[in-house]
Structure formats: C-alpha cells, structure tokens
Amino acid sequence: MKIFGSPCIPVWIPVFALFATLAPARAQNQPAIPAPDERYKADILVIVAHPDDDTAVSTYLARAVFDDGKRVAVVFTNRGNSGPNAVGMEQSKALSDVREMEARRSLSERGITNVWFLRGQDTPTQDVLHSLETLGHGEALEETVRLVRLTRPEVIMTWMPAYVAGENHGDHQASGVVAIEAFDLAGNPAEYPEQLTPPRWHGGVGNYGEGLRPWQAKKLYFFSDASHPEFLKGHGPTYLASDMSRAKNMTYGDINRAAWKHYATQIDFDEKVLSYYINMPEYLVLG
C-alpha cells in the first residue's frame, strides 16, 4: 500500500528503532551498585539481652579487639528498663536511658562502638516463652536478621538458650533463641525479601527496598549464665582474665574492671562479688 506515492511504514518501527539505539547507551551509563557499608562490617556479632550481659564474655571480647584486631558489634534485645538502681532514683524508661549510655561507654572501653538496642522489655522471669512475648518475638527476629545482614559477621555469639542452675534468666534464653533463628534465616533470600530488594535509586527518597544482601555467618558460639559453668569446660575454648593482653600490657581482668565501672546502676554487690565476675573464666561452646 502506498500513500502519496510512498510506502506505508508502521509508526511503531521508527519508535522501536529509536529505543534500540538508546538501550546500549543507557545500559552503559547505569551507575555502579555500591558495596555494603564497611563501617558496620563485623567479624563477631554478640547478641544478648540486657546492658551488662556483654560482661559474660568480656575477656574474650577484649582479646578479640585489642590483640587479634577483630571488629566486634553488639545487639541488645532490650535496654534494661527493670531492676534495682544502685546509684540513683531512675527507674523504668528513665533507667533504660541511663543503661543504654552505660553500655555504650562500657563497650567503648573494649574498642566496641557499633551497638544496637531492640525494643524488648526487661522481664524478670525464668520463662523463655514469657520473655519472647514481651520481646515481640517476630519484630525482634526481623530486626536481628536485618542487623546480621548489615554487619555481615563471621561469628555470632549469644546466651545458651537452656535451663541451668543459676540466674537462668528468661530474657537471656530469648535472646539466644532469636540469635539462632537469625543465624539460620539471614542467608536465605526468601526470608524478609524487602530487606534485600534494591532501592530504585539509593541517592533519592521514598525508596521501598532496603538494599541489603543475604548473609550466612560461619559459626555460632554459646555462653551460659550458670552459677557454676564448669560443666562447659572442654566443649570449646576457655578464656582467662588472668592472661595478659599483649596490646594493652595489662591483664584482661584489669580491662574488665574498667569496663564494669560504667555499669554503676547494676553494681549492687560488694567488691568480693565484683572481683568474682571480673575474673571468672569464660567458656564458649560451638553451636
């Protein structure tokens, strides 16, 4: 068919040809996808319940940071809004504000500054199911998976979620449950896929996807709040506060004491008990 003596060319052909010529140029001009933020990369991620729970592995953390050059990050599942206050009247939400600052200052003594707090409640119980309820189990798990993907640790450390003769705190067990679940789920792209969806443009606003990547930690270690943790001896490495730090030229016990002093609201015991906590051996069990 001809119109005014010329072949009839469908309109879509030149349009298609235009896009075909533009496509390679657009592909070549796509900006590179940024690498994960190295400021938050961790070799070790500690997941515990309360501000001061980190002292259960203080010797190990000091050795890892100062002598082995490891990057450590910490997640607390609550902010310590319950319990006695050894130095002031603050309680409830005010106490949690104080204890968050105590934790940050204590951890900084051991060279640890990447610290996150979830929104759980400090629950005085030995019932792990009750603690998971007040923690907000589902929300806490989602956030913990997010932090594992953000920090990309090689090792995760947490409380052993088991009944023992000792404090046997339900919150400790609950943090261990969430840590195990996050260890299992963070590497699976089918879990919380919105965390892994790339944003349309990371330099813009109103993006939906979070732009993280799946991450599978290599090892999971447990420690215990048992009053006599010697039953763990021989099931993993042991760390002694009497050992010397090469980098600091002091014992790990001395480093632990400097870290403990910041938890002033929780030192409601005498020097003998404090020395026991500072110098107790630390046993880790591979999960």
pLDDT in tens, 163-206: 887 778 999 999 999 999 999 999 999 999 999 999 988 888 88
Phi first, then psi, for residue 119 (nearest 5°) are: -110, 25
Q: What is the extent of the structural domain holding 240?
A: 43-286
Residue 23 inside a domain? The answer is no
Confidence at residue 80, expressed as pLDDT on a 0 to 100 scale: 97
How far apart CA 274 and CA 224 sit, in angstroms, is: 18
> Cα(147)–Cα(77) distance, rounded to whole angstroms?
12
* pLDDT score, position 219: 98
Q: Is residue 37 part of a domain?
A: no
Q: pLDDT averaged over the chain? A: 91
pLDDT bracket for residue 208 (50, 70, 90): confident
The pLDDT-based confidence of 4 (bands split at 50, 70, 90) is very low
| 15 three-class SS | helix
Angle between helices 128-135 and 137-151 (to 10 degrees): 70
Counted residue by residue, the chain has a size of 287
3-state secondary structure of 135: helix
User: What is the distance between the alpha carbons of residues 145 and 130, in angstroms, rounded to a whole number?
Assistant: 21
120-174 pLDDT per residue, tens: 999 999 999 999 999 999 999 999 999 999 999 999 999 999 888 777 899 999 9
Find tokens 């990447």 and name the residue.
Answer: 114
Q: What is the CATH number of the domain that holds 49?
A: 3.40.50.10320
DSSP 67: I
Work out the average pLDDT over 7-32.
55
216 domain-assigned? yes
Which neighbouring-strand residues pair with 155?
44, 219
Q: Could you tell me if residue 22 is inside a domain?
A: no
C-alpha–C-alpha distance, residues 20 and 250, integer Å: 69
pLDDT in tens, 239-285: 999 999 999 999 999 999 999 999 999 998 899 999 988 999 999 99
Give the model's confidence band at 3: pLDDT under 50 very low, under 70 low, under 90 confident, else very high.
very low
Are 39 and 149 spatial neighbours (Cβ–Cβ below 8 Å)? no
Residue 211 counted as domain residue: yes
Is residue 130 one of the residues assigned to a domain? Answer: yes
Does 113 have pLDDT greater than 80? yes
Classify residue 2: in a domain, yes or no.
no
Tally of domains in the chain: 1
Q: Does 59 map to a domain?
A: yes
